[in-house]
Amino acid sequence: MPGRAILAVALLAMLLPQALLTAPLSADDGMLVVDLLPRRIEVDSSFTGSTVILFGVKSVPGDIIVTLRGPEAPVVVRRKRRVAGIWVNRDAVAFRDVPQYYALAASRPIEAIMETEALDRNQIGTGHILLNTIWTRTADEIASFRVAVHRARERDGLYASEIGEIVVIDDSLFRATLSLPANVPTGEYVAETILVRDGEVLNRRESRLSVEKSGMSAEIFNFAKGQGALYGLIAIAAALVAGWVGGVAFRKN
Amino acid sequence: MEIYLPIAEISTNVFLLLGLGGAIGFLSGMFGVGGGFLMTPLLIFLGVPPTVAVGTGTNLIVAASVSGVMAHWRRGNVDFRMGSLLFSGGIGGAWLGVWLFKELREAGQIDLVISLFYVVFLAIVGTLMGAESVRAALRRNARKRRKAHQHNWFHGLPLKLRFRRSKLYVSALPPVVVGFLMGLLAAFMGVGGGFIMIPVMIYLIGMPTSVVVGTSLFGIVVVSTVSSFAHAVQNHNVDIILALLLAVGAVIGAQYGSRVGLRIKGEYLRGLLAVMVLAVGGRLLFDLVALPDDLFSATLMAMR
């Protein structure tokens, strides 16, 4: 029903105008319009986590899956072994391009939307994220290290353990709410929205989100990493002054 | 009130940190020790990464010791010639220590090495202190006077220098070596090392006790300053916010600690401290030996 879709687009445009300004409709891509709010998250010293709302309109029937991936970085996984009674890091496997954050939302259970093979191909679900090793090892050795990456990220709340819900209104408007924990890594995030029908991807959209450190803590962090020598001198000066002031203050009492 | 620590990258309660600083300051005032060797393990128990706990510890010791040095300086209890020898050895030790620290961090072994260092040192210090306090309590009445200092093999070493403040004519080598070892310890453990330097100064170098405390404090400030700087440059693990919060607590706590300390007998104090040191060491040892929750740990690869 094109009339309903137009109505939905109009409604969306009215409510949140930037959706249409930044994602102009073209003939081919018209079946999926998506935007993200907010586009930029600032992590300051009082940051306790945040939510991102992804909303959009689809003009054809089908299921919606949304993934949000954090910045990628190489990760080393180490396994402890007991050496002389003490647990020591012994074996290590390095993975390249591990997303530091991963969340997923779907309009129905993902297994009902797509075959496992397609989930793997599209890297949907934490179990389907592609993890390539940097050093070659045998496959079964690596499996336990690969699981360890997921477990560590899940424990830190960085890989959502549950699949989020997507609210679909009138089979055209949809909305997904994804949450970012307090310890969310900074960097560029990519939200991918895919429209699926009969197990086939009909259309996909990428939206970007940037998570940045802000405020004093960010400045201190960047300063400490960028200009270690100057930072070191300032830290020492601060310590000298603090100790001296403390000593003087209490001597007069 | 939660505060985000920019380098440790964790959120903690401000009052918890002030309280922790205060408690350590109280102990150091009461027992007359730096307290660094208790601070670093406690920060690790709090969830501060061990590398940041050590780097921040070196900075904290600067703040905690500077007023003591000034007080001793005013009274003329600092032997600067001895101090500068400690200093020259300390610079080398601190830089070497921080470099080793960095290599071990990149190899994924630094947390283990920090814990091992602590377990060994806390066990040694706790046992020695405990034994000494028991011995002192047993024969408090039968105390003999020591000679000013005894001559031993230390006094046969070359490169002799005159130390006017300490009324000594001894080789320059021992202070340089002691400084070097202190620098290594400061870099690896985030401690001042007074608990090692003081016995060496008294029993090996033979310095008069009146200048030992002031000179060792001077050495501690100097060596901690060097290792704090080296850590900030090489490992970026000095958290200035964490250090200052702890320092504020420590400076205040130390004042009250020293008042309480005057009222308790020395050997009981040392016995109490020995128990505490052994308890912290035991907890660290337990963490090394007990089956970890997860045998695997995932860390971002160092890109530097």
What DSSP letter does each residue of A67-121 carry, written as one string?
A: EEE--EEEEEEEEEEEETTEEEEEEEEEEEEEES-EEEEESS-HHHHS-HHHHHH
**Same domain membership, residue A195 and residue A177:** yes
Q: Is the pLDDT of residue A118 over 50?
A: yes
**Same domain membership, residue A177 and residue A244:** no
**Same domain membership, residue A116 and residue A77:** yes
Decide if B251 and A217 are in contact by the 8 Å CB cutoff. no
pLDDT tens for each residue of B109-149? 888 888 888 898 888 888 887 887 788 777 765 554 444 45
**Same domain membership, residue A229 and residue A239:** yes
- How many structural domains does chain A have? 2
Q: Is the pLDDT of residue A49 over 50?
A: yes
Contacts of A155 in chain B (CB under 8 A): 294
- How many structural domains does chain B have? 1
* Mutation target among B2, B3, B4 for the A interface, most CBs of A within 10 A: B4
Q: Is the pLDDT of residue A39 over 60?
A: yes
**Same domain membership, residue A197 and residue A82:** yes
Mean pLDDT of B66-70: 80
Q: Is the pLDDT of residue B303 over 60?
A: no
Contacts of B289 in chain A (CB under 8 A): 85-87
| Inter-residue contact A212 to A40 (CB < 8 Å) | yes
Q: Which residues contact B83 (CB under 8 A, 6 or more apart)?
A: B215, B218, B219, B222
Structural tokens at position B300: 């971002």
* Mutation target among A79, A88, A89, A241 for the B interface, most CBs of B within 10 A: A89
Whether B159 is covered by a domain: the verdict is yes
Decide if B247 and A44 are in contact by the 8 Å CB cutoff. no
pLDDT tens for each residue of B237-288? 899 989 999 988 888 887 787 777 777 776 777 788 888 888 888 888 888 8
A27 contacts chain B (CB < 8 A): no
**Same domain membership, residue A219 and residue A147:** no
A235 contacts chain B (CB < 8 A): yes
**Same domain membership, residue A158 and residue A222:** no
- φ, ψ dihedrals at A134, nearest 5°: -90, -40
* Mutation target among B67, B69, B110, B227 for the A interface, most CBs of A within 10 A: B67
Residue-averaged pLDDT of chain B: 81
The CATH number given to whatever domain includes residue A18 is: 2.60.40.1930
Q: Which of A38-52, A64-78, B25-39, B122-136 has the lowest mean pLDDT?
A: B25-39
**Same domain membership, residue A206 and residue A81:** yes
**Same domain membership, residue A221 and residue A96:** no
What pLDDT sits at residue A191?
Answer: 92
Decide if A225 and B236 are in contact by the 8 Å CB cutoff. yes
CA distance A202 to chain B (A): 36
Q: Which of A10-14, A98-102, A192-196 has the lowest mean pLDDT?
A: A10-14
Instruction: Count CB neighbours of A152 within 10 A.
Output: 18
Structural tokens at position A13: 């445009």
Q: Is the pLDDT of residue A126 over 80?
A: no
Decide if B298 and A76 are in contact by the 8 Å CB cutoff. yes
pLDDT tens for each residue of A165-199? 888 888 889 999 998 888 888 889 999 999 988 88
Nearest-by-Cβ selection for A243 from B66, B236, B303: B66
Among A163, A97, A156, smallest CA distance to A127 is for A163
Decide if B6 and A244 are in contact by the 8 Å CB cutoff. no
What pLDDT sits at residue B302?
Answer: 58
pLDDT tens for each residue of B8-44? 878 788 899 999 988 888 887 777 666 777 888 888 8
Whether B299 is covered by a domain: the verdict is no
Mean pLDDT of A45-74: 88
Gyration radius of chain A over CA positions: 24
Q: Least CA distance to A145: which residue of chain B?
A: B296
Whether B204 is covered by a domain: the verdict is yes
What pLDDT sits at residue A139?
Answer: 64
Whether B116 is covered by a domain: the verdict is yes
Q: Is the pLDDT of residue A17 over 50?
A: no
User: Distance between CA atoms of B302 and A88, rounded to whole angstroms?
Assistant: 19
Q: Is the pLDDT of residue A15 over 60?
A: no
Whether B269 is covered by a domain: the verdict is yes
What pLDDT sits at residue A193?
Answer: 92
**Same domain membership, residue A53 and residue A37:** yes
The share of chain A scoring above pLDDT 90, in percent, equals 15
Structural tokens at position B154: 């230390």
Decide if B238 and A45 are in contact by the 8 Å CB cutoff. no
| Exposure of B247 in the CB half-sphere (CA atoms within 13 A) | 31
Nearest-by-Cβ selection for B6 from A88, A221, A232: A221
Contacts of B5 in chain A (CB under 8 A): 217
Q: Least CA distance to B245: which residue of chain A?
A: A242
Q: Is the pLDDT of residue A43 over 70?
A: yes
What pLDDT sits at residue A53?
Answer: 93
Whether B304 is covered by a domain: the verdict is no
CA distance A138 to chain B (A): 18
**What are all long-range contacts of A94-97, with beta carbons under 8 Å and residues at least 24 apart?**
A94/A133, A94/A134, A94/A135, A94/B301, A95/A131, A95/A132, A95/A133, A95/A134, A95/A145, A95/A146, A95/A149, A96/A132, A96/A133, A96/A134, A97/A72, A97/A73, A97/A132
**Same domain membership, residue A142 and residue A114:** yes
| Exposure of B61 in the CB half-sphere (CA atoms within 13 A) | 37
For residue A230, what are the domain limits? 215-253
For residue B172, what are the domain limits? 12-136+153-288
Q: Is the pLDDT of residue B92 over 80?
A: yes
What pLDDT sits at residue B304?
Answer: 38
A10 contacts chain B (CB < 8 A): no
Structural tokens at position A19: 């959706």
Whether B143 is covered by a domain: the verdict is no
Structural tokens at position A79: 């396994």
What pLDDT sits at residue B18?
Answer: 92
CA distance B213 to chain A (A): 17
User: Distance between CA atoms of A140 and A115, rounded to whole angstroms?
Assistant: 24
Q: First CA to last CA across chain A, in angstroms?
A: 83
pLDDT tens for each residue of B142-170? 554 444 455 566 666 666 777 777 777 77
Decide if A243 and B62 are in contact by the 8 Å CB cutoff. yes
What pLDDT sits at residue A138?
Answer: 64
Structural tokens at position B65: 């010791």
Tell me how many residue pairs between chain A and chain B have CB atoms under 8 A apart: 174
**Same domain membership, residue A131 and residue A31:** yes
Give the pLDDT band (50/70/90) at residue A230: very high
Among A33, A71, A39, smallest CA distance to A175 is for A33
Whether B300 is covered by a domain: the verdict is no
Between B58 and B162, the higher pLDDT residue? B58
Contacts of B252 in chain A (CB under 8 A): 246, 250
